């Protein structure tokens, strides 16, 4: 998988039709050398020891014309086609400026050649072929630097693909044979030896081992994994021999998703980048006006001098550095994020994060571990506790929700006979319904009972809820048969995470579908003052909209039940990186499922914005001083800025912007 550089089109053609820049640069550089040796610099003869420039021999000026014409059409073609694209889209910017500069230089040089050879041989009108050559080569060099910098920024993520081995050990009964990884399919059973890399995403079906996922997720310590645990392709197996069943490979694998996320993020235009493009557009019109004005004002000094001033203005005003100021920083930032477990799907989130005022968070699986264990089973009717738990386990056998996992685990632990359930359907924001032994049952939450005014032992339920448990009720028709109370544990980093958010001036708010008493208990443990309980997915969306009336909202959830609110929020952050919903709706995905990594995201966002501001100043600020100099404002004091120096200054700003972007790093929280 490789980056599509053509998709990174900044400023209406800036990166389009660039062809093989490396080849164009080297060919143009080679052609430029004889042009410089044979051309007269600003009407001067130069002595370099035994070498005297220009080198003159019969037909040397014709050779300069031929080589310069080749340079204009070969080396300058990317800029001419880029300018055409910009003008067609009515967005003149940097490519139009470059095209204008080289066209004016070439056109005037042709005029000078005709005048000197056919019309007025003794007038000696100075041409700008040498400046045309240097301008094209410097511009190609700048674009090559840009392409290399963008590729370097993106390759940090693409290198993840190299983590996958070429071969996999495929298990066939009692035998094992090696097979090219490209032929491995989902469902294939693979054996991974100690110290080897995981060939693909999978689930352990045999053995146990410590798995180092640091190269993939950024998590330093090895994680102990056994049967049923998932592994990520590219992670390193530790001390044990394990067998996995492949769950994702190729385009469906985790690494492929990482690269797609980053490439998608890098292809999106951000607001700040749009501003940079606008500045480039304004700069075009300013340069055009000042260049024409300089031409008019310098006309008394001669046509050649007037053209030189105009060409210099066009050269110095080229917003090449401005155009790559934002893309380079974003490319660098998204790749840093990806290698630190932060998959930034929408790079707009990096810019919006600096204005975040509220952090809305789901409780289960976000602030808590999401690993529920049954604290008690209560029966309110004739059925026993065991029958209540077995019936609920039957219905939950069709669900992977954390509450369902806890109920199924309890049934297994108590060695209950769990009957088969049929016609199981999800009740949105409520629970499940289905048929067990021909009888229709429902598993619902406390809010459902209240909304339908169903009677149950509220005193006992409230006591268990007040202790921090989540409650699930079993219904048969309108009768509440029993209840299961399940406890969850706070993530070790959640309390410190909440405290740090407050310190940064961000208000943390917990949103949960759980009952009020449980939510209150958890909120108290975390030091939260704002929370909303018993929320359905649409209620969470309403909460996000309500808080958005007062400021920028970040929403953190598991990416499944919280999908609507993740999409509604200014920045949606999904906990866990495996679900399709998380990828489709979240702006940022946290690989480690640790809310504390949001602090790393906020830190990266601040550093990114700081670099963007710096690069915008480097990319555009120098024009404030340089354009007047190019127009000749200091000519009365003897300072004249030549087109070649103008090109060098522009190229220098480009290099500074690229190097500045590459110094971006993440200061982990």
Angle at 613 between CA 603 and CA 260, to 5 degrees: 60
**Confidence (pTM):** 0.60
- Is 201:231 a contact under the CB 8 Å cutoff? yes
CA–CA separation, 475 and 473 (whole Å): 6
SS3 call for 251: helix
Q: Given its phi and psi angles, is residue 12 left (phi above 0), alpha (psi -120 to 50 degrees) or beta?
A: left
CA–CA separation, 562 and 535 (whole Å): 11
With CA atoms as reference, report the closest residue to 497 among 354, 600, 595. Answer: 595
CA–CA separation, 402 and 381 (whole Å): 26
User: b or e along 200-238 (b: 16 or more beta carbons within 10 Å of the residue's beta carbon)?
Assistant: bbbebeebbbebbbbbbbbbeebbebeeebebbbbbbbb
CA–CA separation, 550 and 6 (whole Å): 40
With CA atoms as reference, report the closest residue to 517 among 469, 557, 465. Answer: 465
362 assigned to active site: yes
**DSSP class per residue in 350-411:** HHHGGGEEEEEEEIIIIIB----EEEEEEE-SSS-HHHHHHHHHHHHTT---HHHHHHHHHH
Give the alpha-carbon dihedral of 331, 334, 340, 342, to 10 degrees: 180
CA–CA separation, 47 and 36 (whole Å): 14
SS3 call for 448: helix
CA–CA separation, 529 and 523 (whole Å): 7
Q: What residue ranges in 537-606 does DSSP mark as E strands?
A: 552-557, 571-575, 588-590
With CA atoms as reference, report the closest residue to 561 among 596, 519, 511, 520. Answer: 511
What domains can be seen in the chain, in order of their start residue? Answer: 5-158+261-332+612-662 (no CATH), 185-248 (2.70.150.10), 347-362+492-586 (3.40.50.1000), 373-487 (3.40.1110.10)
Distances (CA, A) of 600 to 362, 595, 603: 19, 10, 5
Angle at 473 between CA 469 and CA 478, to 5 degrees: 155
Q: For the chain, how many helices (H) and strands (E)? A: 23, 24
> SS3 string of 164-227?
CCCEEEEEECCEEEEEEHHHCCCCCEEEECCCCECCCEEEEEECCEEEECHHHHCCCCCEEECC
CA–CA separation, 130 and 384 (whole Å): 95
Q: For the chain, what is the radius of gyration of the CA atoms? A: 33
**DSSP class per residue in 283-351:** HHHHHHHHHHHHHHHHGGG-HHHHHHHHHHHHHHT--HHHHHHHHHHHHHHHHHHHHTTEEES-THHHH
CA–CA separation, 252 and 479 (whole Å): 45
Q: How far is CA 189 from the centre of its chain?
A: 33
- Is 212:224 a contact under the CB 8 Å cutoff? no
Selected catalytic residue, list 61, 127, 362, 570: 362
With CA atoms as reference, report the closest residue to 404 among 561, 559, 517. Answer: 561
Distances (CA, A) of 659 to 328, 545, 655: 9, 41, 6
- Is 409:420 a contact under the CB 8 Å cutoff? no
Long-range contact set of residues 23-31: C-beta below 8 Å, sequence gap at least 24: 24/74, 24/75, 24/78, 24/140, 25/137, 25/140, 25/141, 25/144, 27/74, 27/75, 28/71, 28/74, 28/75, 28/133, 28/136, 28/137, 28/140, 29/137, 31/67, 31/70, 31/71, 31/74, 31/75, 31/133
- Is 543:360 a contact under the CB 8 Å cutoff? yes
- Is 34:67 a contact under the CB 8 Å cutoff? yes
SS3 call for 434: strand
With CA atoms as reference, report the closest residue to 332 among 160, 162, 163, 155. Answer: 155
CA–CA separation, 331 and 8 (whole Å): 10
Q: What are the mean pLDDT values of the chain's consecutive 10-residue runs (669 residues total)?
A: 34 45 92 89 58 81 95 93 88 78 84 87 75 82 60 46 76 88 89 88 88 56 76 82 87 63 49 60 83 91 81 70 73 83 82 93 80 86 88 83 84 91 80 90 90 88 83 91 88 89 95 83 90 84 93 81 79 68 70 83 93 84 79 84 64 80 82
Q: Residue 462 is inside which H or E element, if any?
A: helix 458-466
């Amino acid at each position: 998988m490789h980056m599509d550089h053509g998709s990174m089109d900044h400023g209406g053609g800036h990166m389009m039709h660039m062809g093989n820049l490396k080849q164009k640069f080297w060919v143009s550089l080679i052609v430029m050398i004889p042009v410089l040796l044979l051309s007269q610099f600003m009407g001067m003869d130069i002595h370099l020891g035994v070498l005297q420039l220009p080198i003159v021999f019969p037909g040397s000026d014709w050779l300069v014309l031929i080589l310069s014409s080749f340079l204009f059409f070969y080396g300058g073609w990317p800029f001419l086609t880029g300018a055409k694209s910009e003008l067609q889209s009515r967005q003149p910017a940097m490519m139009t400026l470059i095209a204008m500069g080289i066209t004016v230089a070439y056109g005037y040089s042709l005029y000078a050649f005709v005048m000197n050879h056919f019309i007025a041989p003794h007038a000696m009108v100075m041409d700008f072929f040498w400046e045309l050559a240097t301008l094209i080569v410097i511009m190609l060099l700048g674009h090559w630097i840009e392409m290399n910098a963008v590729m370097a920024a993106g390759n940090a993520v693409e290198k993840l693909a190299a983590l996958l081995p070429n071969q996999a050990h495929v298990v066939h009964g009692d035998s094992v044979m090696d097979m090219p990884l490209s032929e491995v399919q989902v469902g294939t059973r693979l054996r991974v030896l100690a110290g080897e890399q995981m060939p693909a995403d999978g689930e352990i079906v045999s053995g146990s081992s410590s798995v180092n996922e640091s190269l993939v997720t950024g998590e330093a310590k090895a994680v102990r994994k056994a049967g049923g645990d998932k592994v990520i392709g590219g992670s390193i197996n530790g001390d044990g021999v394990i067998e996995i069943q492949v769950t994702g490979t190729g385009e469906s694998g985790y690494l492929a998703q990482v690269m797609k996320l980053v490439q998608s993020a890098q292809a999106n235009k951000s607001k700040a980048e749009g501003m940079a493009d606008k500045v480039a557009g304004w700069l075009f019109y300013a340069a055009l006006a000042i260049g024409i004005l300089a031409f008019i004002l310098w006309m008394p000094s001669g046509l050649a001098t007037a053209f030189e001033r105009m060409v210099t203005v066009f050269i110095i005003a080229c917003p090449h550095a401005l155009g790559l100021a934002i893309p380079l920083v974003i490319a660098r930032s998204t790749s840093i994020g990806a290698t630190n477990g932060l998959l930034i799907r929408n790079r707009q989130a990096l810019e919006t994060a600096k204005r975040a005022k509220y952090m809305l968070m789901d409780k289960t699986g976000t602030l808590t571990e999401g690993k529920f264990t049954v604290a008690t089973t209560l029966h309110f009717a004739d059925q026993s506790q065991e029958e209540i738990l077995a019936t609920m386990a039957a219905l939950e056998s069709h669900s992977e929700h954390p509450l369902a996992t806890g109920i199924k685990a309890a049934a297994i632990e108590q060695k209950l006979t769990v009957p088969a359930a049929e016609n199981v359907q999800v009740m949105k924001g409520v629970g499940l319904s289905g048929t067990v032994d021909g009888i229709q049952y429902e598993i619902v939450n406390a809010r459902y009972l209240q909304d339908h005014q169903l009677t149950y032992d509220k005193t006992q339920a409230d006591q268990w809820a007040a202790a921090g448990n989540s409650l699930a009720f079993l219904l048969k028709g309108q009768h509440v048969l029993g209840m299961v109370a399940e406890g969850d544990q706070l993530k070790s980093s959640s309390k410190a995470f909440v405290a740090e958010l407050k310190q940064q001036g961000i208000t943390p708010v917990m949103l949960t579908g759980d009952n009020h008493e449980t939510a209150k208990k958890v909120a108290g443990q975390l030091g939260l003052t704002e929370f909303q309980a018993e929320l359905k997915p649409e209620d969470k969306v309403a909460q996000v909209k309500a808080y958005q009336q007062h400021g920028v909202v970040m929403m953190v959830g598991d990416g499944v039940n919280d999908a609507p609110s993740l999409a509604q929020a200014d920045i949606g952050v999904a906990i866990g990186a495996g679900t399709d919903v998380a990828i489709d709706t979240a702006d940022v995905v946290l690989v480690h499922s640790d809310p504390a990594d949001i602090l790393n995201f906020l830190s990266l966002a601040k550093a990114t914005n700081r670099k963007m501001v710096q690069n915008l100043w480097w990319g555009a600020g120098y024009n404030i001083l340089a354009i007047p100099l190019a127009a000749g404002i200091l000519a009365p004091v003897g300072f004249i800025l030549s087109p070649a120096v103008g090109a060098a200054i522009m190229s220098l700003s480009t290099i500074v912007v690229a190097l500045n972007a590459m110094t971006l790093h993440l200061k982990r929280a």
